């Protein structure tokens, strides 16, 4: 059994100090590994650049170590005769600025991902290595973690021995200001909140009720649970880096400080909780066969991410509506924005969606100059449009007796109470499960959607759902919230730009009027029609273009300042969904609570 001690008290500098005792079977060279292929990241994400200070000893004598010349997360250690164990010490130097990576420690809270603070011996399945871990926190802090605790000694938490794969899949959230809220009658699902200030984690009863409803609606959707208990770990902060990572019995997420206090304005943040919770069923208990690996060193592949993430993205929006986190109108607004975005993006003309499942490895979410042309993990949101097509198609094929809800229950909800990863699936398993609900050429349908190239995207689900995509002068409520949350002005569907709060272009749509004028991501707007740039002045100029008024800009790219004229006369175009009379409003039925 490997014994692990982590001292996380140095939150001012974000330094995690680690000591571990690793048993060995005799003299000779062993290899210690730092976890690399991490569940939930879909790519090799070992932050080895933040690993430092390694020393290794046996029986009080220092040992030398050597890094593998190619596999940089592997370390050779020569074990001397008579040694029953070696002792390793190192530090994990968490980022102190977002430019260095994800900030996970502040003066008020911390997140601990166990993969960042453990070395393990090569040659074993992760589930065959048992770890007994202890974590020391700053005095007075509280913490949540789904692992069983064997004891607590003041500010030190001692966890019961657990397999390495379960340890790595069970992060910790801790903080000075902390609240734990039960979300079900069984007392097995909790919302754990850490905040920059106490008032940020003081939700109202209606806000708590909406989160409780997420659990209720998931129970009704899937019909079975695959966890003995579940801990939602949600940091409410503008100092920690925003993220959402799924785990089998918990999730690790950071949202903005206005999550509760700016409830109405920050509605665009609210689909994070249902998305990560759904992953307990879709992606954790059941996952694609090539997304599973017995250890953290063997590569995974992502060919079924359109199910793992695409269907989860679909359910996250549906459950946001069913739970009351969103109104139906807000859910329709989100869908309108997604549909319009992928209808406008031309990348699908040359690159099939299945190829975007390689993006976690190709780009690792690094910023791209031309996202709309290059594409980037489009299996999430464009994948959700495919699953809307599937849902409405199932309803139409069965005269609305069956739906994707039935697939979720049969495919992900079976074997209630079993929470280990016991059953992976392949492409044909998905098609066969759908055929059991309604006979159709599902293999041909998915092959066409995933491997084909198109001008636009799949809007059959919207039309079959009783709506159509239209454009109006004003943005819908969801789009307004999204711009407010991310500090942007979205003019994608008119002149083809998204502008950050500082006037920099955060996105330029390929083949748009802005693209034709030579604008690029990173260009900064200095003036609009002779007036210093503000978001409102730019909006006014776009509106006036419908009457033939010019859009003349002064922009700066690097050190170069130039004048730019945008040839556009269409006024504002913001996506909405409009009801089609005479068609069944299946979207309304999909968004209604179960």
What pLDDT, in 10s, does the model give residues 270-326? 999 999 999 999 999 999 999 999 999 999 899 999 999 999 999 999 999 999 999
CATH classification of the domain holding 507: 2.30.42.10
Evaluate whether residue 205 is within a structural domain. no
Evaluate whether residue 196 is within a structural domain. no
Evaluate whether residue 201 is within a structural domain. no
Q: Buried b vs exposed e over 377-392: b needs ≥16 C-beta within 10 Å?
A: bbbbbbbbbbbbbbbb
The domain boundary residue, chosen from 123, 145, 174: 174
What pLDDT, in 10s, does the model give residues 547-562? 999 999 999 999 999 9
Distance CA(171)–CA(131), nearest Å, equals 14
Nearest to 318 by CA among 275, 263, 268, 264: 275
Q: Does 500 lie in the same domain as 387?
A: no
Q: Buried b vs exposed e over 5-20: b needs ≥16 C-beta within 10 Å?
A: bbbbbebeebbbbbbb
Q: Does 159 lie in the same domain as 28?
A: yes
Q: What is the DSSP letter of 284?
A: T
**Structural domain boundaries, residue 71:** 1-174
Q: Does 558 lie in the same domain as 426?
A: no
Evaluate whether residue 247 is within a structural domain. no
CATH classification of the domain holding 47: 2.60.40.3650
Q: Does 135 lie in the same domain as 57?
A: yes
Residue 571 · residue 546 · CB < 8 Å: yes
Q: Does 351 lie in the same domain as 303?
A: yes
Q: Give the tokens for residue 380.
A: 């999430």
Q: Does 585 lie in the same domain as 562?
A: no
Evaluate whether residue 226 is within a structural domain. no
Report, in angstroms and rounded to the nearest whole number, the Rg of the chain calculated over CA atoms: 25
Q: Kindly state the helix (H) or strand (E) to which residue 210 belongs, with its residue range.
A: helix 205-222
Mean of all residue pLDDT scores within the chain: 96
The domain boundary residue, chosen from 155, 174, 193: 174
What pLDDT, in 10s, does the model give residues 440-471? 999 999 999 999 999 988 899 999 999 999 99
Q: Does 586 lie in the same domain as 549?
A: no
pLDDT of amino acid 419: 78
Residue 367 backbone dihedrals phi, psi, to 5 degrees? -60, 140
Phi-psi region of 100 (alpha: psi -120 to 50; beta: other; left: phi over 0): alpha
Evaluate whether residue 147 is within a structural domain. yes
Q: What is the DSSP letter of 347?
A: G
Q: Does 123 lie in the same domain as 91?
A: yes
Distance CA(395)–CA(335), nearest Å, equals 19
Evaluate whether residue 316 is within a structural domain. yes
**C-alpha torsion sign, points 464, 466, 472, 474:** negative
Evaluate whether residue 331 is within a structural domain. yes
Q: Does 383 lie in the same domain as 307?
A: yes
Q: Does 137 lie in the same domain as 5?
A: yes
Q: What is the DSSP secondary-structure string of 88-152?
A: EEEEEE--SSGGGS---B-SSEEEE-GGGG--EESSS-GGG-EEEEEEE--TT-EEE-SSPEEEE
pLDDT of amino acid 420: 74
Q: Does 325 lie in the same domain as 414?
A: yes
Task: Report the number of distinct structural domains present in the chain.
Answer: 3
Angle at 410 between CA 406 and CA 414, to 5 degrees: 140
Q: What is the mean pLDDT of each run of 10 residues along the chain (594 residues)?
A: 98 97 94 92 90 96 96 96 96 95 96 98 95 97 96 90 96 98 96 98 98 98 95 97 94 97 95 97 94 91 95 98 98 98 96 95 90 95 97 98 98 86 89 98 98 91 98 97 96 98 97 97 97 97 96 96 97 98 97 98
Q: Does 587 lie in the same domain as 554?
A: no
Distance CA(176)–CA(192), nearest Å, equals 13
């Amino acid at each position: 059994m490997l014994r692990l001690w982590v001292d996380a008290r140095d939150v001012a500098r974000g330094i995690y100090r680690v000591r571990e005792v690793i048993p060995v079977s005799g003299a000779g060279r062993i290899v210690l590994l730092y976890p690399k292929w991490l569940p939930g990241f879909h790519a090799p994400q070992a932050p080895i650049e933040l690993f430092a200070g390694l020393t290794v000893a046996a029986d009080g004598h220092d040992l030398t170590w050597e890094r593998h010349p190619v596999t940089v997360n592997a370390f050779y250690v020569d074990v001397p005769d008579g040694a029953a164990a070696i002792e390793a010490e190192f530090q994990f130097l968490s980022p102190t600025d977002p430019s260095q990576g994800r900030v996970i420690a502040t003066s008020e809270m911390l997140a601990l991902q166990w993969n960042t603070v453990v070395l393990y011996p090569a040659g074993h399945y992760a589930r065959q290595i048992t770890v007994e871990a202890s974590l020391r926190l700053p005095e007075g802090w509280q913490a949540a973690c789904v692992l069983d605790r064997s004891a607590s000694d003041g500010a030190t938490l001692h966890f019961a021995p657990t397999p390495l794969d379960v340890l790595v899949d069970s992060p910790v959230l801790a903080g000075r200001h902390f609240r734990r809220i039960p979300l079900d009658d069984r007392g097995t699902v909790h919302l754990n909140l850490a905040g920059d200030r106490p008032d940020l984690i003081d939700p109202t009863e209606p806000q708590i009720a909406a989160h409780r409803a997420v659990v209720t609606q998931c129970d009704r959707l899937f019909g079975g649970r695959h966890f003995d208990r579940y801990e939602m770990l949600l940091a409410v902060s503008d100092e920690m880096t925003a993220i959402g990572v799924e785990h089998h019995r918990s999730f690790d997420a950071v949202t903005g400080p206005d999550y509760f206090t700016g409830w109405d304005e920050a509605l665009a943040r609210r689909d994070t909780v249902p998305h990560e919770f759904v992953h307990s069923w879709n992606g954790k208990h059941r996952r694609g066969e090539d997304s599973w690996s017995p250890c953290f060193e063997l590569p995974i592949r992502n060919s079924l991410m359109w199910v793992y993430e695409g269907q989860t993205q679909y359910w996250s929006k549906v459950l946001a509506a069913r739970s009351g986190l969103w109104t139906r109108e807000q859910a329709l607004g989100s869908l309108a924005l997604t549909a319009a975005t992928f209808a406008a993006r031309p990348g699908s003309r040359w690159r099939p969606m299945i190829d975007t499942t390689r993006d976690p490895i190709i780009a690792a979410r690094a910023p791209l100059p031309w996202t709309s042309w290059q594409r980037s993990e489009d299996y999430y949101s464009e994948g959700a449009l495919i699953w809307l097509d599937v849902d409405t198609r199932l309803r139409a094929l069965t005269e609305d007796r069956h739906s994707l809800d039935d697939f979720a229950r049969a495919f992900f909800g079976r074997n209630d109470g079993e929470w280990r990863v016991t059953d992976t699936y392949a492409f044909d398993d998905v098609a066969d499960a759908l055929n059991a609900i309604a006979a159709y050429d599902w293999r041909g349908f998915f092959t066409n959607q995933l491997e084909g190239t198109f001008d636009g995207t799949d809007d059959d689900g919207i039309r079959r759902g009783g709506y159509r995509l239209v454009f109006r002068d004003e943005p819908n409520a969801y789009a307004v919230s999204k711009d407010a949350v991310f500090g942007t002005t979205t003019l994608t569907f008119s002149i083809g730009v998204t502008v950050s709060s500082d006037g920099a272009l955060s996105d330029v749509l390929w083949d748009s009027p802005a693209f034709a004028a030579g604008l690029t991501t990173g260009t900064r707007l200095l003036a609009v029609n002779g007036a210093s740039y503000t978001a409102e002045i730019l909006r006014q100029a776009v509106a006036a273009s419908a009457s033939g008024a010019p859009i003349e800009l002064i922009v700066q790219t690097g050190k170069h300042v130039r004048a730019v004229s945008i040839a556009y006369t269409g006024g504002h175009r913001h996506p909405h969904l409009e009801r089609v009379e005479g068609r069944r409003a299946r979207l309304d039925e999909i968004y209604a609570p179960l």
